[in-house]
Amino acid sequence: MFALWYLTFAVDEIRKRLAWLFSSNKPAAPALDNKPADPAPAKVPTPAPAPPKESPPAKEPAPAAKPAPKPEPSKPAPVVAKPSSPPTPPKEEAPAPKPAPQPTPAPVVAPPKPATPPKPASPAKATDKMPIPLPKSLTEANTNGENGAPTNGSAANGSGGNVDERLLAGHQPNKPLAQVKDATQDFIKGETNAFIQSIKEAQLLGELKQDTMVDAAVLAKLEEGYAKLAASDSKSLLKKYLTKEVFDNLKNKVTPTFKSTLLDVIQSGLENHDSGVGIYAPDAEAYTVFADLFDPIIEDYHGGFKKTDKHPASNFGDVATFGNVDPTNEYVISTRVRCGRSMQGYPFNPCLTEAQYKEMEGKVSSTLSGLEGELKGKFYPLTGMEKAVQQQLIDDHFLFKEGDRFLQTANACRYWPSGRGIYHNDAKTFLVWCNEEDHLRIISMQQGGDLGQIYKRLVTAVNEIEKRVPFSHDDRLGFLTFCPTNLGTTIRASVHIKVPKLASNKAKLEEVAAKYNLQVRGTRGEHTEAEGGVYDISNKRRMGLTEFDAVKEMYDGITELIKLEKSL
Ligand code: ADP
Ligand code: CIR
């Protein structure tokens, strides 16, 4: 009887200590904006690359299977031989070079229910998390029939069952008392401590693995990609700022929640040496964890926004200020102002599940269906859209293109076209893109140069949408986006313009544009050529100034370019 009581006591004691062990080392999840609301500790298991039928059409072939699937955290490098990596809790010392961006939710009138975070694996019981090496007394003794291992209990026969079952196997009713006593003696002699010690060791191994949990295959890809980029004549900001020192400092780091690696950040630029920039943030924490790379690129792109700078508060200014940028209607064909937004509670493209894409599409579509007046329109999912309709929308500059290799190699086109779509009013002067590069792109555009009218429409729309959807915003970085070039105001105000004299020398056009902080793109947007002498010229920087000032920068710059064109 005593033996039985003692055994029960010992089992209880072990349970308590196990509970302590698995709770005492859990660090608080670091602050970030677009991590799941529920601090699910594990990274979203990276879904396999989209199967061929989900890939963009052959016309603009995806680099099939090229976008490296995100490293699968449940299959870590064999850096540590045993146990296989459990879904690990976020680590506090996770390499945050500076305080994580503190999210400041946009003002919300009626916040929707927070998004359900991806739940890759159920982090149920501690014993489910980590295969625990058991001390001899709990393995050999119980597996070889000694110590009264039951003859008929499969759960307790040593090869199956969990720790509790194995322990409880010690007091099977048909067990001879002497053998029970032996088992009891084992505990008394300190097997309990050995058992706990072995768990501690296992946990330590797990933690070491977190520090170096970048998969060996990922590291190999990084090294190979880095060597190729370093030897290339790439003009990308990635090449400019990914020095050997920065590379070595960042290559083993992962973001705390989604376990995104440096490869997730730079693979687009490694694959596309003709990138202008070459990096993306797979999740919001990447801006902090990989700050040694993001900060100088942000500073360079956004005209001097330093790592110590703070983006100003959102300010759309007086929308009645702007007039027509080309009153005589000679140069400007059309004008467009867009901004990007990320929905709180969802990570960026590479970490989204297909279910989340669909959920977000549903939210965007139903939210926009409440818009009235000039903003009233309809949501058109890409799934099921006729190819001819899609192509016409692209040709008319209303819809995002398909098969962008920069996005594909950033792992941003998974499950395409799931969750992607476009909302627009009848006149197609107000449009919203859903889940292309960013969760939302809010666009106002029309023929001619009436920037005032276009800007006013955009500001009205953004305010209306922000009343209904909470967006990811960071105190220092402003509105959070997938690409660092879009942070801050996220504003790109552009004209489609013909300036034939200036454009007779493209290099000269770019030089003059740069003088006014303007960026020149081709007719079909980024990475395209001008068709029929039509250029897309817009403000370049979006951080460190207000929305109003970003648009004004375009207005003033285009006014100067037109003056110059007239003078030639
Ligand atoms: P984004 O502006 O969203 O960063 P892109 O550079 O790819 O993305 O441009 C998206 C689309 O918007 C392209 O079809 C481009 O031609 C179109 N576009 C940009 N500016 C204008 C404009 N001023 N008038 C008409 N279409 C425009
Ligand atoms: C590139 O690096 O060229 C692409 N990843 C796009 C970067 C965004 N470009 C920009 O100027 N806004």
Beta bridge partners of 496: 334, 536
Q: Could you tell me if residue 51 is inside a domain?
A: yes
Which value, to the nearest 10 degrees, does the dihedral of the CA atoms of residues 523, 529, 534, 538 take?
60
Q: What angle do CA 318, 323, 327 make, to 5 degrees?
A: 175
How far does CA 440 lie from the centroid of its chain? 14
Is residue 213 very low, low, confident or very high in pLDDT (cuts 50, 70, 90)? confident
- pLDDT of 461 over the 50 cut: yes
- pLDDT of 15 over the 90 cut: no
Question: Which SS3 state, helix, strand or coil, does residue 521 take?
Answer: strand
Q: Could you tell me if residue 505 is inside a domain?
A: yes
Angle between helices 291-301 and 262-271 (to 10 degrees): 50
Q: Are residues 128 and 36 in the same domain?
A: yes
Q: Could you tell me if residue 40 is inside a domain?
A: yes
* For residues 486-506, average pLDDT: 96
For the chain, give the percent of residues with pLDDT over 70.
Answer: 63
Ligand 1 contacts CB of residue 540 (under 6 A): no
What is the 388 CA–ligand 2 centroid distance (Å)? 28
Q: Could you tell me if residue 208 is inside a domain?
A: no
Which of 441, 457, 476, 542 is labelled catalytic? 441
Annotated binding-site residue? 420: no
Q: Are residues 125 and 37 in the same domain?
A: yes
Best residue among 337, 393, 494 to mutate for probing ligand 1, ranked by most atoms within 8 Å of CB: 494
Query: In this structure, what are the phi and psi dihedrals at residue 506, rounded to the nearest 5 degrees?
Result: -60, -40
Closest CA to 156 of 146, 141, 167: 167
Could you tell me the two tokens for 147? 């110590």
Which value, to the nearest 10 degrees, does the dihedral of the CA atoms of residues 545, 547, 551, 556 take?
-40
* For residues 50-66, average pLDDT: 32
Burial environment of residue 372 by CB neighbours within 10 A (0 to 12, 13 to 18, 19 or more): exposed
Ligand that lies nearest to the alpha carbon of residue 525, given by its number in the listed order: 1
Is residue 9 very low, low, confident or very high in pLDDT (cuts 50, 70, 90)? very low
Ligand 2 contacts CB of residue 276 (under 6 A): yes
- pLDDT of 270 over the 90 cut: yes
Residue 285 near residue 36, CB atoms below 8 Å:
no
Q: Could you tell me if residue 240 is inside a domain?
A: yes
Best residue among 444, 524, 541 to mutate for probing ligand 1, ranked by most atoms within 8 Å of CB: 524
Ligand 2 contacts CB of residue 525 (under 6 A): no
Q: Are residues 286 and 337 in the same domain?
A: no
Q: Are residues 137 and 1 in the same domain?
A: yes
Beta bridge partners of 261: 254
Annotated binding-site residue? 80: no
Which of 420, 457, 521, 541 is labelled catalytic? 521
Closest CA to 353 of 307, 390, 324, 345: 345
- pLDDT of 73 over the 80 cut: no
**526 annotated active-site:** yes
Ligand 2 contacts CB of residue 161 (under 6 A): no
Per mean pLDDT, which range of 154-168, 283-297, 429-443 is the poorest?
154-168
**541 annotated active-site:** no
Annotated binding-site residue? 473: no
Q: Are residues 99 and 239 in the same domain?
A: no
Which of 288, 429, 485, 489 is labelled catalytic? 485
What is the 275 CA–ligand 2 centroid distance (Å)? 6
Query: In this structure, what are the phi and psi dihedrals at residue 519, rounded to the nearest 5 degrees?
Result: -120, 140
CB contact set of 15 (below 8 Å; sequence gap of 6+): 164
Query: In this structure, what are the phi and psi dihedrals at residue 252, rounded to the nearest 5 degrees?
Result: -100, 5
Atom of ligand 1 nearest to the CA of 522: 16
Residue nearest atom 1 in ligand 1 by C-alpha distance = 525
Q: Are residues 290 and 348 in the same domain?
A: no
Counting runs of H as helices and runs of E as strands, what totals does the chain give? 19, 10
Annotated binding-site residue? 337: yes
Strands 492-497 and 377-381: unpaired
Strands 332-341 and 440-447: antiparallel
Atom of ligand 2 nearest to the CA of 276: 3
Residue 127 near residue 166, CB atoms below 8 Å:
no
Q: What angle do CA 296, 547, 494 make, to 5 degrees?
A: 85
Q: Are residues 353 and 478 in the same domain?
A: yes
Sheet of strand 440-447: strand arrangement: 377-381, 421-425, 430-434, 440-447, 332-341, 492-497, 535-539, 518-521
Q: Could you tell me if residue 535 is inside a domain?
A: yes
Q: Are residues 277 and 413 in the same domain?
A: no
Q: Are residues 289 and 362 in the same domain?
A: no
**437 annotated active-site:** yes
pLDDT in tens, 501-535: 999 999 999 999 999 999 999 999 888 899 999 99
CB contact set of 77 (below 8 Å; sequence gap of 6+): 212, 213, 214, 215, 216, 217, 218, 219
Ligand 2 contacts CB of residue 277 (under 6 A): yes
Q: Are residues 430 and 346 in the same domain?
A: yes
Residue 67 near residue 410, CB atoms below 8 Å:
yes
Fill in the amino acid letter for 149: A
Ligand 1 contacts CB of residue 494 (under 6 A): yes
Ligand 2 contacts CB of residue 494 (under 6 A): no
* For residues 112-140, average pLDDT: 28
CA-based end-to-end distance of the chain: 105
* For residues 280-304, average pLDDT: 98
Ligand 2 contacts CB of residue 483 (under 6 A): yes
Which of 191, 271, 437, 553 is labelled catalytic? 437
DSSP at 433: E
pLDDT in tens, 127-180: 222 222 222 222 222 222 222 222 222 222 223 332 223 222 223 333 333 343
Q: Could you tell me if residue 196 is inside a domain?
A: no
The residue among 284, 301, 318 that closes a domain is 301
Where residue 240 sits, what CATH number does that domain have? 1.10.135.10
DSSP at 109: S
- pLDDT of 94 over the 60 cut: no
Ligand that lies nearest to the alpha carbon of residue 405, given by its number in the listed order: 2
pLDDT in tens, 307-339: 999 999 999 999 999 999 999 999 999 999 999
Global pTM value: 0.70
In angstroms, the CA 471 to CA 141 distance is 58
- pLDDT of 193 over the 70 cut: no
Question: Which SS3 state, helix, strand or coil, does residue 410 take?
Answer: coil
Q: Could you tell me if residue 322 is inside a domain?
A: no
- pLDDT of 380 over the 90 cut: yes
pLDDT in tens, 385-427: 999 999 999 999 999 999 999 999 999 999 999 999 999 999 9
Q: Which one has a higher pLDDT value, 191 or 229? A: 229
Atom of ligand 2 nearest to the CA of 238: 2
Q: What is the mean pLDDT of the chain?
A: 74
In angstroms, the CA 432 to CA 364 distance is 9
What is the 225 CA–ligand 2 centroid distance (Å)? 19
Per mean pLDDT, which range of 99-103, 306-310, 380-384, 413-417 is the poorest?
99-103
Q: In total, how many domains does the chain have?
A: 3
Q: Which one has a higher pLDDT value, 221 or 175? A: 221
Strands 430-434 and 518-521: unpaired
**223 annotated active-site:** no
Atom of ligand 1 nearest to the CA of 433: 3
Fill in the amino acid letter for 136: K
Ligand 2 contacts CB of residue 250 (under 6 A): no
Q: Which one has a higher pLDDT value, 116 or 213? A: 213
**441 annotated active-site:** yes
The residue among 175, 205, 233 that closes a domain is 175
What is the 521 CA–ligand 1 centroid distance (Å)? 9
Q: Are residues 117 and 74 in the same domain?
A: yes
Three-state secondary structure of 36-91: CCCCCCCCCCCCCCCCHHHCCCCCCCCCCCCCCCCCCCCCCCCCCCCCCCCCCCCC
Per mean pLDDT, which range of 45-59, 266-280, 330-344 is the poorest?
45-59
**Within 13 Å and on the Cβ side, how many CA atoms surround 211?**
7
What is the 377 CA–ligand 1 centroid distance (Å)? 20
Annotated binding-site residue? 405: no
**492 annotated active-site:** yes
CB contact set of 124 (below 8 Å; sequence gap of 6+): none
Beta bridge partners of 335: 446, 495
Fill in the amino acid letter for 515: K
Ligand that lies nearest to the alpha carbon of residue 543, given by its number in the listed order: 2
Where residue 413 sits, what CATH number does that domain have? 3.30.590.10
Q: Are residues 9 and 127 in the same domain?
A: yes
The residue among 147, 175, 203 that closes a domain is 175
Three-state secondary structure of 531-548: ECCEEEEEECCCCCCCHH
Ligand 2 contacts CB of residue 301 (under 6 A): no
Best residue among 398, 428, 519, 536 to mutate for probing ligand 1, ranked by most atoms within 8 Å of CB: 536
Per the listing, tokens 């069952």 go with 161
In angstroms, the CA 246 to CA 227 distance is 14
Its domain, for residue 392, covers: 332-567
pLDDT in tens, 350-378: 999 999 999 999 999 999 999 999 999 99
- pLDDT of 6 over the 60 cut: no
